[in-house]
Homo-oligomer: A and B are copies of this chain.
Amino acid sequence: MTKNHEEHVGILHGGGGVYMHKFIKEHILPNFRSRRRFIEIPLKLLADSAVIEEIAFTTDSYTVKPIFFPGGDIGSLSVSGTINDLAVIGSEPIAISCALVIEEGFPLSKLDRILKSMDTAAEEAGVEIITGDTKVIQRGKLDELIINTAGIGKRNKLLDENLKHVSRDGRSLKSRWLDPRNIRPGDKIIVSGPIGEHAIAVMVARGELGLEISGIKSDAAPLNGLMSKALEVGGVVAAKDPTRGGVASLLNEWNETTGIGMIIYEEKIPVSDEVQTASEILGIDPLELANEGKVVLAVTAESAEEVLSALRSDPLGREAEIVGEFTADFDGVVVKTEIGGLRYLPMPIGDPVPRIC
C-alpha cells in the first residue's frame, strides 16, 4: 500500500480485515485510554459488545448500499446486526436505539418502510426501540441515509449454567461471558448456516456483478432466539457473527486472541449453490463474505453434537454444521480442502465488498 494509506482514512480501514484491525489498534485504542473503573469486557478486546456492571453495550452504524436489497433493507439490518452483537456474548438484548442521519430530500415513504422494517425486526427479537435521534444533512452531502443502532442487554439467564458445562473439563474461565479467551484445543467450531448470502444479495442488488443470479436473499435476522437454544444445551464457549470479513476474519480474530490454531473442513462449510457460483465467477472466497444472520460458535467437544441439534431445531439454524475444531497441531487457521490438501486461511485484507452493512 502507498504512503497515502498511512495518512488518510481509506475504504479498507472500514473493511473488517487486516487494515481495519491495524487502524483500530493504531488510532482508536491508543486514543481511548482505559480508566479506573473495572470493565468486564473492555474496548481493547474488540468484542461484539462491551460489558460494564453486568450491562452489555454495543453500537453499529449502517451504511449499506443500496438501502433496499433482496431479503431486507438498512432498517432490518440495523436492528438484526446490533441484536446479534449483544446475543453472541451471552446477553439477552432488551433495548436498542435508532439514530437517523438523513439526506435532505429523502422520500418519507421510503423512510416509513425502513422504520417499519426496524420495528418488525425488533418485534421478532422481542426488544424495544426506546430512544433515538434525527439529523438531516444538506442534499449532496450524504448518500441517502445512515442508521446507527446501539443496544443494551442483560446477562442471559442461561449463561451461568452454560458455562458450568464449559468448565466441566476443568478449564479455568477467564471471563463470565461467551468469550474466545475461554477457548481450549479440542473445542469444536459450528457455523449456523450457509455463508455469504448477505454479501452476494447486496452485490446483486447493486447490479455490480454483471450477472443475474436469482434466489439469493440476505440472511439478515436477529439471532438472540437461536443463541438461547444453544445456551440451553450448555457448553458454548464463544460466539461471534461473521459480518465484515466473513468467517475468515472471525476465525483469524479468534486465533489471535487465543493463540490456538484450528482446522476447518472445507466440505463441511455450508454454502448455497448460488453463493458458490457467484463466488467462483467473482474469484472471491465465500469464507470472506459478510453474513448478517449467521453465528459461529466454539463449543466443547462433549456438547458439540447436542448444540448442533438444538441449532438445527430452529429455522435460523436448520443448516448448521460442525466445520472444524481448535487444535494445538497448527498455529494458524488451516483449511482442509475438499481434495484433501491443507492451506492457511489468512485474515482478509478487507471486505471485498464496501458498504456491505
Q: Which residues of A contact B (CB under 8 A)?
A: 6-15, 20, 23-24, 27-28, 31-35, 37, 39, 42-43, 49-50, 52-53, 55, 57-63, 94-95, 97-109, 111-112, 115-116, 118-119, 122-123, 126, 128-138, 141-143, 146, 148, 150, 152, 154, 354-355
Contact B28 A132 (CB under 8 A): yes
User: CB within 8 A of A27: which of B57, B112, B355?
Assistant: B112
- Least CB distance from A134 to B in Å reads 5
Structural contact, A35 and B134, CB atoms closer than 8 A: no
The DSSP consensus for interface residues of chain A is mixed
Contact A152/B99 with A135-B14, A135-B63, A141-B142 known, Cβ cut-off 8 Å: no
Distance A90 CA – B120 CA, assembled complex (angstroms): 32
Q: From the candidates B14, B99, B141, name the one contacting A148 in the complex (CB within 8 A).
A: B99
Determine if B31 and A118 form an interchain contact, defined as CB atoms under 8 angstroms apart: yes
Q: A107-B7, A109-B7, A146-B146 are in contact. Are A58 and B131 (CB under 8 A)?
A: yes
Cβ-defined contact, B10 with A104, below 8 A: yes
Given contacts A129-B32, A152-B57, contact A63 B101 (CB under 8 A): yes
Residue of B nearest to A12 (CB): B136
Which of chain B's residues have a CB closer than 8 A to the CB of A123?
33, 35
Inside 8 A of A8's CB, which chain B residues have their CB? 104-108
Q: Given the known inter-chain contacts A9-B104, A9-B108, A141-B142, please indicate yes or no for A99 contacting B131, CB distance below 8 A.
A: no
14 pairs of residues in contact across A and B, judged by CB atoms under 8 Å:
A11-B138, A27-B112, A31-B116, A31-B119, A34-B128, A35-B126, A50-B130, A52-B94, A53-B154, A55-B152, A57-B131, A58-B131, A59-B150, A61-B101
Least Cβ–Cβ distance between A146 and chain B, in angstroms: 6
In the assembled complex, the CB of A354 is this many whole angstroms from the nearest CB of chain B, namely 7
Set B27, B32, B60: member contacting A108, Cβ < 8 A: B27
> Closest residue to A103 on the B side, CB-wise?
B9
The docked-state distance in angstroms from the alpha carbon of A154 to that of B52 is 11
Among B42, B131, B136, the residue within 8 A (CB) of A43 is B131
When chains A and B are docked, how far (Å) is the Cα of A122 from the Cα of B136? 26
Interchain CB contact under 8 A, A39 and B108: no
Q: Is the CB of B31 within 8 A of A136?
A: no
- The reply to whether A95 and B141 form a contact with Cβ atoms under 8 Å apart is no
Contacts of A23 in B (CB 8 A): 134
How far is the CB of A13 from the nearest CB of chain B, in Å?
5
Task: Chain B residues near A136: list those with CB within 8 A.
Answer: 9-15, 354
Q: Which of B100, B118, B150 contacts A97 (CB 8 A)?
A: B150
Task: Point out the residues of chain B lying under 8 angstroms from A355, CB to CB.
Answer: 135, 137-138
A14-B102, A148-B148 are known contacts; what are 10 more A-B pairs with Cβ within 8 Å? A8-B106, A10-B104, A10-B136, A12-B136, A50-B130, A60-B133, A61-B100, A63-B101, A138-B355, A142-B142
Q: Say which residue of B27, B32, B131 sits within 8 Å of A49 (CB atoms).
A: B131
Report chain B residues within 8 Å CB of A98.
28, 32, 59
